[in-house]
Structure 1
Amino acid sequence: MTARTPVLGASDKLTFLLSLIPYLMDHDNVTVTEAAGHFGVPPERVRDAVRLIAVSGIPGETHQYLDGDLFDIHWDEFEDNDRIALTHLVAIDDSPRFSAREAAALIAGLQYLSSLPENADRDAVASLMAKLTRGASATPTQLAVSSPDSDAAMTVIQASGRDGVQVEFDYLNARGENEHRFVDPLRLESVDSDWYLRGWCHLRQAPRTFRLDRMSDLRATTEPVGSHDAGLVLSDTLFQASDEDLSVVIELPSSALALLADYAPDRATTPVGGDRVRTTLRVAHYHGLKRLVGGLAGLVTVVEPAEARQVVAEWAAAGAARYDEPTGRA
């Protein structure tokens, strides 16, 4: 018996046509064989679709198909060399495009993702960046995003997670104390430019969060992770409260509350006039307020306790004093 070529319905032909046109737009000049190999179809099906593209388009204001209302191809290349090159596009070019700034921002984000160990050498990321560049309304600004400083640490942690073994490292905590930790790695997360390891700390016998740039002498061990992590559920917030945390009362605009969601679990507030509210934070140490207040400069006021106010005031005064120091210039 002779095998029959399946008869395609109108919807199948249209689906293939709508897939083929973007492919041809992304590849300026391809052979029929290359296109057929990409879609996994016989070459003759590609040729039929190309001939259909050449009589497709959108009628103009007169509701008739005039010159410029249809797609067109390089016919000599197609008939003599079996190559496909679109020479005229209709309708598709009228679709909304990213501005140059929007495309540049997206490309910068993709560059950052491709620099991470788990996304290194990803052809899909490179292809998407190329499409954004071609599809923008203007040429995007050329940006270069540096690799995160924590690449080496993330590589060790990810390998340990795959192998199911603990990591050990020396850790400088928020109190300025060095401790040696053994941790079952569970998750890597980022907040702005900082990367964090979330895992089960064997010293504290509880889930803990560690900043990668505070680790030193990080290495994988041969000790397997505990059996707890099968039933361990990490919270949605990056920082978890503990019984050892300290309470601090602050005032800030209500619009800024969302920025402190990880530090104020219950989000209870008291209006104090205007748009400002008062709420209570949970911090591991008063020195941790320095980074928080510095990130919201001019918005946060530490109310109590007095020790917390003093820590932040002394830190701010020390920073301001540096501006009064002589620069050494004549």
Structure 2
Amino acid sequence: MALFIRLISVLITTITSLNVYSQADANHFAIHAEWIATTVLSGSIPPLNFDDIYHVWGAMLSPFWIIPGPSRIYARVGIAILGAIAVYNVYIIVRHYHSRYAGVLAVLPMLFYPSFLFLHAAILREAMILFGLTSAARLLLTPSPKLNTISTYTLAAFFISIATILRDDNLPVYLLVLVIAAFLVLKPWQRYKKLTATAVGIGTATALAVIVIYGRQMLEYFIYLRQARSRGRTGYLGSVLPDTLPPAIAFSWVGAMYFLFTPFPWMISHSMDFVILGESITNLIYAVAAISGARILAKKTLAGTVALILGIVVGTLLYGLGTVNVGTAVRHRQMVLWAIFLLGGIGIAQYICIRMSSIQHS
């Protein structure tokens, strides 16, 4: 169903101008992909700059421009397939740890959100990143019996690498999540108490040192992002430029709420905003249900649950610091929403089961 809905979205947005995500960056990616493909077909090697995301993502898209025919449509269908696989990955994880019913509830927003459908019908990198993250999560949380441990970890690392290549500023979050999850899985404190305590102490001291040494540099990067993005009709809090750690920490939770749940009702200024408002309200419902879902999932996989929560919290706080308009928030929050939907689907399913049980016994 996920693929069918996305293919319908590709068809509709191909013959109409409804999809705002098919412009701007998407056009630049298409131009670079065509240039790379044309250069390769001419027998030359394109001079790629791997620090330029247009070159990197354009290189990944370029095979679609080597195939004769409507290359951009081929690419959009390919992106739609990746988005559908990401939805299926989340469903598999939830079904494994709870039920098919919970799996369906978890992926409902991913199936029907207009923002998901539009992004997965445009040649942007978000669907590929989502595919990489959910594929890695599926491998690590629900290992296939057909793969040995080494193959599982190698494939998971490959998928995380893809997500990192396309958005390298997320790498610290991925590393933090993986290190904490590995620590909880291996449980080194059971065998090496003193060594574990020492390692934790050194790790904590190192993390604090990194924050002190590079904190100013990171804040300057967030300020640059906020200044570059504080434009357009849907901008918010663009004048807030926290340049020291205390104001940044104080503002981080506000930025996180705006990142996940905008537009708020007082920000509505266009009829199309009501569509995204509906998504935001649903995000809030799933976020509340995720608290219960996390408690249920933690009984079956503590490491997996902590990894998901840590990714949601840290990712949301960091994205909140660098996001100042609704359009950017809607595009980027897919990177954490899938985990919220995963936990929220379990929480909602459990609530419904409890309610149904109480009704039957009353």
TM-score tier (shorter): under 0.3
TM normalised by structure 2 equals 0.22
- Could you say which structure has the greater relative contact order, defined with CA pairs below 8 angstroms and 6 or more residues apart? 2
Q: Which has the higher Rg, Structure 1 or Structure 2?
A: 1
Question: Which structure carries more strand by proportion?
Answer: 1
